[in-house]
Structure 1
Amino acid sequence: MDRGYFARLAARRDSTALAMRNAMVRHVPLYGAQSSTQQVALLGEIHDTWRPVLKQAAKDEPLTEADLEPYRILGRNRGMKSFPLGELRAGFEVAHTTGLRECLSMIEPGDGGASIAFTAWGVRELPRIMSTVESAYARACGTAGDRSQARQLLMDRLTQGRPAGDVASALGMELPSGYLVLLCKPRVDRPDCGFRGGLPTRRLESVPGLLWQADHASGGLLVLLPAHAGAAAARATARGLVTSLVTALGRRLSAAEAHGATLDDVPAALHEARQSLALVGAMPDAESRPYGADELLVELAVARQPAVRRKLAELLAPLQRGTDLQRTLEVLFDCGLDRQRTTAALHIHRRSLTYRIQRIRELTGLDPTTAHGIQLLRAALTATRLPATLPSPRG
């Protein structure tokens, strides 16, 4: 690497560290709430971790184990204090971005490829640095800190396809050969409702090795169930878990599952489960149980063919002429075509339901009491309820 460029980096090391500390204080709430004494200590940490970076980057050599020790100390300190994992990562990202920006601002004509080489070095070493911090953090959480933070880290590693053995070891856990990915969310008119009533954590904690957290991509609950020898036992557990959640929360759920046969398969299984959950949420007659992708082939075919989807949705357009006709059709399917349950759910008389079904038949030309009519009307309702963009099975 160009010595002139590196000399400038070294000369402005203190100002760069200060800029990194100030950015963390401004942008990460927990750092911003620290006392002045703690912020001075934070600046010292940044100096300790920044020094080996400049030294090894100048030689274009990887960080040694001794160079990584300040990062272990940082991770251990955060874990011992039960520092939230999200805040730890946010601070790391803010510091890295600020430091890189400061370094790039020092480039002068004639530096050649120095900045490119420095950036390439950072790309190579940054994953090692973050892994070192996280491993030390997990060990500290596992012994004296908040174990839930270490479990979240383990789950993140698994769902991102990153090595997770060190975090599992810190928690005293043995990783299974694979996991069954379970996603579920309340079946409500507002898709962003979430689990506002809280979760029955005792039920979740009763399953050995089970991991769970919120899944922001789907707006639901993400659960990883150990699958030691195939997925049959895990699927039975998942079904029972969903039933327990329905009972505890007092509301129906949409649920989807996918099996990651190996730990490397977990990210793909998560993407598959997210797609399946979107399809289940569109079904007018979905049960409160986990659905696999193989059960959703019709819904997937509709979702993947925009022209067919539009034509199906057009079948229901005439129902807008009648009061609550589409809603009546949705409830009819939701009640398994049982008229007694449908009238109770809609709070109407049986004769009123018969009249509405007749109007649906007249307006759409489809009879919701025949197999053909049921098939098309169900597909049409699904088409109108599908999200604008279906999650990709590969993320």
Structure 2
Amino acid sequence: MSDLHARMAARAGDFTAAVVARCAAEAPFYAALPRTTLRGEVARSVAAVHALLLRALRDGGATGPVRPGDLTRLVEWSARRAEERVPLEAVVAAYLIGAEVWWQTLTEVAEPGELGDAGGSLLACLHAALPAVVLAHGNAHRDAREQLHGEDGRVRRALLGALLAGQPYEELADLARVAVTGGHEVVALAYGGEPPGRLVQSSLDAFTGTPVLLDHVARIALLPAGADLPGLVARLETDVGQPVRAAAAPAPEPSAVPAAAQEAGRVLDLVLRLGRPPGCYRLDDVLLEHQLARPGDGLALLAAKLDPLEDHPYLLETLRVLVERGLNRRRTALELCVHRNTLDYRLQRVTALTGLDLAVPAQARLLQAALVARDLAGPEPPPRRPAP
């Protein structure tokens, strides 16, 4: 498929010119545009979609017909077109014209044996792209109405606020035209920085295929039950270009949303305090840490078990890596780039200073818990903004 990719890439300029010319001739909206707009913004959009089709042709479906980041960009392009008052029928017509020109070009440059896979790639791209484009266009029109009237936005925010507060929500759901019956996943989000709210919303909508209730301030999202949350977090990281940590809790019915939101918030706070890597977490993933974090003197006493190592940071690091590697000494030595004998000497020093022997299972568990307690007893992260 690489030879065909090269042949199609060589026709990029002809493809863009042909699509723009046909749009101007066949779609009334484009026919009314100035030539400078057609040759500028419209041609750039066509060229971007052409690049997407080329990548799908080159990859041969290895990463799916449309990569997650490409799909999010399509959503963003469509949202901008809607903000510019481009009718949805004109956008769809442009995509279909582009598909026809792409196929015509394929028949001119492809060998007979290449057309089947290339045609399948084209149809797969349309199947993935058009629903997302239509959804984004509708969302953007909704956002435009919110900017003009503000009512839809207020209703959706009020709906999510009512659900999070355990207040009556049925009338708000009807006004917002959002179905909230049944189960949900309440997800608390933390980013490496401050991603644009619209980009996060577009990514969530494109991944789930449905508008997602999202509070950009409290960073709480209400997702359908059964959603692929690890996949969603990985997709969101790609789209926003930042590490993402998420904590999820199930809400089997709307009345359970407040408790699920509190659980997700507690889990996320623990994940941040413990410095866990990006990803999606549930209470089961931090169950021990959650229990250790309960108020009381036990946490400080447990953390104090490691006070003798305070002046020996390399011993603390060695113990931490050993715990993270499941007490596997070979993997720990490789991670620390030290000889196995050096590792054994360090662990003997840990035992001598703390009085706790890693060779004794009960004492090894106590050392693991002491590490967690030490992390929890450290400085807390900045407080998360509370949900309404």
Instruction: Give the structure with the higher percent helix.
Output: 2
